Amino acid sequence: MSTLATARAVTFADTLRAEWVKLRSLRSTWSTLACLFGVGLGVTALAMSSAGTDYAEATAAERAAWDPTNLSLTTYIVAQLIIGVLGILVVTSEYATGLMQTSLMATPRRSRLLAAKVAVAAAVAVVAGQLLMLASFLLGQAMLSAQDVPSASLGDPGVLAAVGGGGLYLTAIALLAAGLGTIMRATAGALATLVGIVFLVPALAGLFPSWLQGLVDVWPTRGAAAVFATVPDPEYPHPWLNLGGMCLGVVAVLVAAFVVFRRRDV
């Protein structure tokens, strides 16, 4: 006697698991993560190598504003681009290979598919970002101590917030990159746009009209990056509000990405 198998409905957990399998099976994923830690820690080592000389030549005011935590976390400037590449590839890798059509046939509900991609990107970015920030902090402080320069520990005021905020900052950048990749469907275009957002716009901020100056407070590498500091900055006295504003901007990009992904052809 034959029986008919009842097909089980595909759940979001199934889609999430499939996206994780796809991401971890890509060689580019592991190459990007290796580059993130290799380059990120390398930048920290280079930045800290001259800290002893810099401190010895610093004025009294500069020594009073000395922030060893912020110094060891400046690797975020490069790390945000690398983790941005990872966020972009979560989406554009399937456009490049033509597998997006296959994914949509397996998961016709486009919102579910993109939500799974965003969730996987966020999970990988938050783990990698937090580990990099912690490793950069520990490496930086060890190098400062070796040069007899004032250093910090995780128990010092504001240090855990700066390290944790750094991981959240990098996660937000990865999600921004995933949104840009969805909208543009091309790795090069999305990466060029991300570079413009994190480097070009802040560099030209002084040219903005007065009614646009408020954007600087929530812009990556400017106001939002104040979360990396433990010494208060009079220009950005509320770093977590700045970071929150940046995250709202990322959410807006993701909303646009979901709308575009649902309405257009593959």
Instruction: To the nearest 10°, report the CA torsion of 81, 85, 90, 95.
Output: 140
DSSP letters, 182-215, are HHH--HHHHHHHHHIIIIIHHHTGGGS-GGGGGG
**Residue 208: pLDDT above 80?**
no
Identity of residue 253: V
The confidence score (pLDDT) of residue 106 equals 84
The confidence score (pLDDT) of residue 251 equals 97
Q: 3-state SS string over 32-87?
A: HHHHHHHHHHHHHHHHHHCHHHHHHCCCHHHHHCCCHHHHHCCCHHHHHHHHHHHH
> Looking at residues 39-46, what average pLDDT do you find?
96
**Residue 78: pLDDT above 80?**
yes
Angle between helices 12-25 and 110-146 (to 10 degrees): 50
Locus of tokens 């070796």: 146
Neighbours of 102 (CB within 10 A): 11
218 CB contacts (<8 Å, ≥6 apart)? 224, 242, 243, 244, 245, 246, 248, 249
d(CA 250, CA 31): 25
**Residue 108: pLDDT above 80?**
yes
Give 2's pLDDT tier (boundaries 50, 70, 90): very low
Higher pLDDT, 196 or 202: 196
The confidence score (pLDDT) of residue 3 equals 47
> Looking at residues 168-194, what average pLDDT do you find?
96
pTM, to two decimals: 0.91
Neighbours of 65 (CB within 10 A): 13
Give 67's pLDDT tier (boundaries 50, 70, 90): very high
Q: Which of 156, 11, 9, 6 is nearest to 72 (CA)?
A: 156
> Looking at residues 65-74, what average pLDDT do you find?
94
Partners of residue 236 on adjacent β-strands: 233
Query: Whole-number mean pLDDT of the chain?
Result: 90
Q: Where are the domains of the chain?
A: 30-263
The confidence score (pLDDT) of residue 101 equals 87
**Residue 188: pLDDT above 60?**
yes
Higher pLDDT, 9 or 244: 244
Higher pLDDT, 263 or 9: 263
Per residue in 212-240, pLDDT (tens digit) is 777 878 888 888 999 999 988 888 888 99
Q: Which of 164, 156, 172, 154 is nearest to 130 (CA)?
A: 164
Angle between helices 27-49 and 110-146 (to 10 degrees): 30
The confidence score (pLDDT) of residue 207 equals 77
